[in-house]
Amino acid sequence: MVKYVLLLCDGMSDRPLKELSGRTPLEAANKPNMDYIAREGRCGLAQTLHPGVPFDSGVANLCVLGYDPRKYYPGRGPLEAMNMGVKLSGKDIALRCNIIFQKGGRIADFTSGHISNGEGSELMNAMGERFGGSGIELYPGVSYRNLIVLRERYSDRLDCKPPHDIVGGVVEENLIKPLKPDAAETAKVLNDIMRESVDLLSKHPVNVKRVGSGKNPGNMLWFWGPGRNPKLEKFESKYGLSGSLISAVDLLKGIARVIGLEVIDVPGATGYLDTNYEGKADYALKSLESKDFVYVHIESTDESGHEGSLEHKIKAIEDIDERVLGRMLNKLEGDYVLGLLPDHATPIEVRTHVDDPVPFAIYDKRKKPDKTRSYSEKEAKKGAYGLIEGHEFMSRMFG
């Protein structure tokens, strides 16, 4: 029985940089295992983001899984709500809620210095006590990533700016705008909470202590990614395979729950450079004892791109190569297919998601390799698969 492994490195793809003499981080990093997969497999480019839908990880990961986001994307908030066990009726709206750091009326840090889970939960609980009620519910999540739910009478026709896209931007210029007249009240309610949260959070003991320790405080709530209850075809019905997903991110876990993949929680998985890489590899291999397919999602490359940190991005690539991919290759046995790709590009120079095609490699020892010699954006152009739509990737991987 063939087993399938998909290693998805969020935001790993990039653009040539002067600091690297015209190379990308993928070209500069020491990544012998990724190069092996490309050299012994077949490569190509996948278009995972498109005009008209948000340049969002939810969109891109759904696309990679074979669900064309131009037809099926329900919004970021509801997918995260699914993972958190927050039930939505057909009339309810969920939005992602970041705890951000604003300074002088500008967005300074969309992660609040990667605030800890405990600190984030304490702040969210305090905000829930202040703003909860009248159909408004706030839920703590992981670190700076949290959730707000609006029940029954609100509109999702909102123009919301993801905070990671507007670091340095003026807060008042980037608040929520209604897309329809009947959404004006919803936009006002949310903007009022965002504004009022600044004073309340700034005075909270968690942030007083963080400032005293020289850390960025989480002194503002920021809402984005609105949507309603998602309905998608189950993965096993679509492909005839059982599967699981490993990620530190609520968004990915939410997607998994919607399409019926088993969600595997790995102790110490953080979504950042300090994540438990080895644990993700080991839990993935364990899952294959009972499942046909495992989707291993790594977030650290995307976070590094949003930071604009070349050092962190190269480190993340090299850690994934050695501590996840290398570890799995050393232990995988029998017939297996291994796919490798980013969901989208998060270039260092722009620090946000872009719709550049992303390089992918599929290793299947039953098939002859193409002429690709290493894994990178440039090399993948030479691959046998050429340029494909992102939602076609799984059909290539499953043959």
From residue 374, alpha-carbon distances to 31, 107, 294 in Å are 9, 39, 24
Taking the C-alpha atoms of residue 338 and residue 183, their distance in angstroms, rounded to an integer, is 45
What was the pLDDT predicted at 275?
95
pLDDT of residue 32: 98
Chunked into runs of 10 residues, the chain (399 residues) has average pLDDT values of 97 98 98 98 97 90 94 85 88 96 97 96 97 94 94 92 94 97 97 98 98 97 92 95 95 92 96 95 98 98 96 98 98 96 97 96 95 97 97 96
pTM assigned to the model: 0.81
Q: What local confidence, expressed as pLDDT, does residue 69 receive?
A: 86
**Structural domain spans, the chain:** 3-74+231-397, 82-227
Q: Give residue 309's pLDDT.
A: 97
Q: How far apart, in whole angstroms, are the C-alpha atoms of residue 324 and residue 246?
A: 12
Cβ 359 vs Cβ 17: under 8 Å: no
Longest dimension (CA), the chain: 62
Whole-number pLDDT of residue 93? 96
278 by DSSP, 3-state: which? helix
The pLDDT of residue 74 is 82
With a CB cutoff of 8 Å and minimum separation 6, the contacts of 145 are: 80, 96, 98, 249, 250
Structure-block tokens of residue 64: 């990679």
Query: With respect to CATH, is domain 3-74+231-397 assigned 3.40.720.10?
Result: yes
